[in-house]
């Protein structure tokens, strides 16, 4: 048990109770997958929920070992608490849940335009393969560490909801030969891919992020699209309000595992890799959803932490009427890059 889950487990035990299945928990940065699932579970319970992700609560319940928190609340999981008592958690929850609709829209649009191959890098406990209405024939590759994917599979075993999509779990550290593992799992680099890199880049150093993007580009057919989350700088302890030792543990985990990501403005970084990108600010996304600014991303502070939600597309090949002429490319039009536009 680590600091985060210790704070979560009532009576110091994670034994299955109330019919809850005991499953080995991910550790280290894998815990962030659970924290994200908690935010989605909490959001799903709201009357004005931005989305409903019923499996998110199954992950939380399985991790904590009980379905019961105080009153009708979710059980506590480290800093995550469903009672409004932690400013840090309120802020993190608004952030993690608030970015979800952006990527839902991106996926629906990208798949609505006929693409049938999705790769989620750092997939964590993402349940979009079940939650979104994906077309038959869609394959969703979920890439994450073995610990996270084992936990996910353990919780879903026996009561996995139906999905029109085929899910393929690829258990590997993204600093290893993940492209080889993905290909071996059936990935087809001749087909356009919908890449989803939500909440991952900050856990990589600039060279690791560059290597990841170069690998993505090397196996992306024309027509591929990409979405990721991007922080403007490293997070720091003074970015987050701390209420108690549970908050301190998560703040330490988040700041110590933050490796800075690409460290270059997103459009320039993606352009260097051959992509045309567009950014959206999380705070503006939340405002459009009628949600307040999370304290973590308060733009009024000096040197504010900002989260940009990025979509990008590869230039599209254009065939000349003369079959022998060299292939030209054109920049993708706005609607190919922008996740908020409706499908053509
Ligand atoms: C904040 S969670 C986001 C999970 C998911 N994308 C979501 O939004 O629900 C970050 C995920 O990235 C994964 N991750 C971080 N570094 C990784 C690495 N080097 N290799 C594979 N997965 C990694 C973690 O295990 C974790 O599941």
pLDDT in tens, 42-58: 999 999 999 999 999 99
Ligand 1 neighbourhood includes 144 CB (under 6 angstroms): yes
Residue 323 has a pLDDT of 60
The residue behind tokens 């610990």 is: 147
The full DSSP string for 244-285 is: SHHHHHHHHHHHHH---TT-S-HHHHHHHTT-EEEEEEHHHH
Residue finishing a domain among 87, 113, 139 = 87
Q: How far apart are CA 77 and CA 60, in angstroms?
A: 7
Q: Is the pLDDT of residue 10 over 80?
A: no
pTM: 0.88
To test the pocket of ligand 1, the residue of 35, 93, 142, 144 to mutate (highest count of ligand atoms within 8 Å of its CB) is 144
Q: Which of 3, 51, 23, 26 is nearest to 144 (CA)?
A: 26
pLDDT in tens, 72-123: 778 888 778 888 778 888 989 999 999 999 999 999 999 988 899 999 999 9
Residue 265 has a pLDDT of 92
Residue 201 has a pLDDT of 95
- At 338, the pLDDT band (50, 70, 90 cuts) reads low
Ligand 1 neighbourhood includes 199 CB (under 6 angstroms): yes
- 310 forms beta bridges with 228, 279
Residue 332 has a pLDDT of 63
Q: Which of 198, 199, 201, 217 is nearest to 209 (CA)?
A: 201
Q: Is the pLDDT of residue 330 over 60?
A: no
Residue 79 has a pLDDT of 77
pLDDT in tens, 145-204: 999 999 999 999 978 888 899 999 999 999 999 999 999 999 999 999 999 999 999 999
Residue 248 belongs to a domain: yes
Q: Considering its fold, how many domains does the chain have in total?
A: 2
The DSSP bridge pattern shows strands 117-121 and 193-197 to be: parallel
Residue finishing a domain among 41, 63, 87 = 87
Residue 13 belongs to a domain: yes
Residue 199 has a pLDDT of 94
Ligand 1 neighbourhood includes 53 CB (under 6 angstroms): no
Domain match, 123 and 253 both: yes
Q: Is the pLDDT of residue 321 over 80?
A: no
Ligand 1 neighbourhood includes 33 CB (under 6 angstroms): yes
Residue 13 has a pLDDT of 22
- At 324, the pLDDT band (50, 70, 90 cuts) reads low
- At 280, the pLDDT band (50, 70, 90 cuts) reads very high
Q: Is the pLDDT of residue 299 over 60?
A: yes
CATH code: domain of residue 160: 3.40.50.150
Q: Is the pLDDT of residue 18 over 90?
A: no
Q: Is the pLDDT of residue 291 over 90?
A: yes
Ligand 1 neighbourhood includes 65 CB (under 6 angstroms): no
Residue 342 belongs to a domain: no
Residue finishing a domain among 31, 56, 87 = 87
Residue 344 belongs to a domain: no
Domain match, 181 and 53 both: no
Centroid of ligand 1 to alpha carbon of 255 (angstroms): 15
For the CA of 103, the closest atom of ligand 1 is 8
Q: Which range marks the domain in which residue 321 is found? A: 91-337
- At 5, the pLDDT band (50, 70, 90 cuts) reads very low
Average pLDDT over residues 2-9: 40
Centroid of ligand 1 to alpha carbon of 199 (angstroms): 7
Domain match, 145 and 207 both: yes
Residue 343 belongs to a domain: no
Domain match, 214 and 275 both: yes
Ligand 1 neighbourhood includes 98 CB (under 6 angstroms): no
Ligand 1 neighbourhood includes 262 CB (under 6 angstroms): no
Q: Is the pLDDT of residue 256 over 70?
A: yes
Q: Is the pLDDT of residue 14 over 50?
A: no
Centroid of ligand 1 to alpha carbon of 22 (angstroms): 22
Domain match, 203 and 321 both: yes
> Do residues 23 and 155 touch, judged by C-beta distance below 8 A?
yes
> Do residues 190 and 221 touch, judged by C-beta distance below 8 A?
yes
Tokens of 207: 């060279």
Percent with pLDDT over 90 in the chain: 60
Domain match, 130 and 278 both: yes
Tokens of 37: 């699932």
Residue 218 belongs to a domain: yes
Domain match, 144 and 47 both: no
The full DSSP string for 36-86 is: HHHHHHHHHTSTT-S---HHHHHHHHHHHS-S--STTSPPPBTTB-TTS--
Ligand 1 neighbourhood includes 261 CB (under 6 angstroms): no
Domain match, 175 and 236 both: yes
Residue 40 has a pLDDT of 97
Centroid of ligand 1 to alpha carbon of 32 (angstroms): 7
Domain match, 30 and 128 both: no
Centroid of ligand 1 to alpha carbon of 203 (angstroms): 8
Domain match, 33 and 98 both: no
pLDDT in tens, 206-219: 999 999 999 999 99
- At 11, the pLDDT band (50, 70, 90 cuts) reads very low
Domain match, 235 and 110 both: yes
Q: How far apart are CA 192 and CA 115, in angstroms?
A: 6
Domain match, 261 and 329 both: yes
Residue 37 belongs to a domain: yes
Q: How far apart are CA 75 and CA 196, in angstroms?
A: 29
Q: Is the pLDDT of residue 62 over 80?
A: yes
Which residue has the least CA distance to atom 14 on ligand 1?
122
Q: Which of 104, 122, 22, 86 is nearest to 294 (CA)?
A: 86
């Amino acid at each position: 048990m680590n600091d985060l889950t210790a704070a979560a487990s009532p009576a110091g035990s994670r034994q299955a109770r109330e019919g809850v299945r005991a499953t080995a928990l991910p550790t280290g940065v894998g815990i962030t997958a659970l924290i994200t699932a908690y935010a989605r579970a909490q959001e799903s319970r709201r009357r004005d929920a931005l989305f409903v992700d019923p499996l998110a609560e199954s992950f939380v319940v399985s991790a904590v070992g009980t379905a019961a928190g105080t009153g009708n609340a979710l059980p506590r999981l480290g800093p995550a608490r469903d009672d409004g008592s932690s400013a840090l958690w309120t802020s993190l929850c608004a952030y993690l849940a608030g970015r979800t609709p952006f990527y839902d829209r991106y996926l629906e649009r990208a798949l609505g335009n006929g693409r049938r191959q999705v790769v989620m890098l750092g997939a964590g406990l993402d349940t979009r393969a079940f939650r979104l209405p994906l077309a038959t024939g869609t394959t969703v590759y979920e890439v994450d560490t073995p610990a996270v994917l084992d936990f996910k599979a353990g919780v879903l075993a026996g009561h996995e909801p139906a999905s029109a999509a085929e899910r393929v779990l690829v258990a590997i550290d993204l600093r290893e030969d993940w492209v080889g593992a993905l290909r071996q799992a059936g990935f087809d680099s001749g087909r356009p891919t919908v890449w989803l890199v939500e909440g991952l880049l900050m856990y990589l150093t600039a060279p690791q992020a560059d290597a990841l993007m170069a690998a993505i580009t090397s196996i992306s057919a024309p027509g591929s699209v990409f979405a990721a989350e991007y922080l403007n700088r490293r997070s720091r302890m003074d970015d987050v309000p701390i209420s108690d030792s549970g908050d301190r543990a998560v703040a330490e985990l988040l700041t110590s595992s933050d490796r800075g990501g690409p460290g270059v403005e997103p459009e320039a970084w993606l352009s260097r890799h051959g992509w045309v990108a567009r950014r959206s600010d999380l705070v503006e996304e939340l405002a459009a959803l009628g949600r307040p600014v999370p304290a973590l991303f308060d733009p009024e502070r000096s040197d504010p932490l900002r989260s940009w939600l990025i979509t990008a597309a590869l230039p599209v090949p254009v065939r000349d009427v003369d079959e022998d002429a060299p292939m030209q490319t054109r920049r993708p039009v706005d609607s190919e890059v922008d996740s908020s536009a409706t499908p053509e």
